Amino acid sequence: GCTQKYIVKNYFYYYLFKFSAALGEEVFYITFLPFTYWNIDHSVSRRMIIVWSIVMYIGQVSKDILKWPRPLSPPVVKLETRTNAEYGMPSTHAMAATAISFSFFIATMNQYKYPFELGLVAAFVFSTLVCLSRLYTGMHTVLDVIGGALISAVLLVLLYPAWDTIDHLLLTSPFCPLFSIVVPLVLCYNYPKLDYYSPTRGDTTTILGATAGATVGFWLNNQYAASAPTGKSVQPGFPVITSTMVFVLARFFVGILVVLLTRWVMKSVVLGLLGYRYKFPIGDLAARRRLEVEVPYKFVTYSSVGFMATVVVPLLHQLLGLM
């Protein structure tokens, strides 16, 4: 229970892998995935989000079914504490990094003009850095990381032939909103039970909730034919590039402000209502970890974030003349 002390001898590796580890956490998901939707291409973003949610759900559930322990400390030095209560196999950081980087590469290689080798190397470097960060921070074994990357790769191969079909159904089926909300909720409430609390159920609910809200947003946008970034190349030139970057940054900062504000407001409101319903103070961490509190609190909060990011933020961009 004591805090483990360590001495950093190589600050380059330390900050490189601490940063790389963050590429597999919420701070990256909540910035990069919406960024692709606001600034790159809606179809690319949709495919990435669906693949990410499926891969992460399978990875999180696999951890709590296999129940393989994380590396013992000592001998390893653990540089993180939040996820230490989770089991180790497979590494969901490795799974997420592999899924996001290679799904982005696959989805864009036929839509954008860039060297195939460059895209492949970029996806490989991104996923490799995240995988190595899990070893450096002492959170996973080599087998955990390899297993996570391989599972993610297999799932990508299996999902790729159905990408267009899934995307079409999510955009056009009248049952999409109901399916997008009911199925994730059922999965969250029937998550594998453990003998002690682990953040895996809460993290899984966060991911499925955000995907549910975003998917409903995708469907709604398609019904009303919302404008989308086309991904068409522009003529080169410094003024054009400068102007484009200003609009990209403006869309991102406006969008991320709305997303963070939505998360804060919904978290406060939902926790307040649940606290009133189940008679506990908002600051009671043990109460917030109960199934009947954690699942609705995180699902409603992050489904609201997903919906705002895909519906309200693009409308705000249009209103502000940022499209």
3-state secondary structure of 194: coil
Contact (Cβ atoms closer than 8 angstroms) between residue 117 and residue 62 = no
Q: Is 140 a catalytic residue?
A: yes
- The single residue of 42, 140, 168, 317 carrying the catalytic annotation is 140
Phi-psi region of 138 (alpha: psi -120 to 50; beta: other; left: phi over 0): left
Beta-carbon neighbour count of residue 199 at 10 Å? 16
- Where do runs of H (alpha helix) occur along 138-196? 142-159, 163-172, 176-189
CB-count burial class (<10 Å; 0-12, 13-18, 19+) for 92: buried
What are the DSSP calls for 24-91, one per residue? TSHHHHHHHHHHHHHHT-HHHHHHHHHHHHHHHHHHHHHHHHH-PPPPPTTTS-----GGGGS--SS-
- The single residue of 42, 93, 168, 317 carrying the catalytic annotation is 93
Q: H-helix or E-strand containing 239?
A: helix 238-278
Contact (Cβ atoms closer than 8 angstroms) between residue 78 and residue 18 = no
Distance CA(301)–CA(262), nearest Å, equals: 8
Q: Is 93 a catalytic residue?
A: yes
State how far the alpha carbon of 20 is from the alpha carbons of 6, 98, 105, 294, in Å: 20, 13, 19, 28
| The two structure tokens encoding residue 82 | 């939040």
Positions annotated as catalytic residues are 93, 140
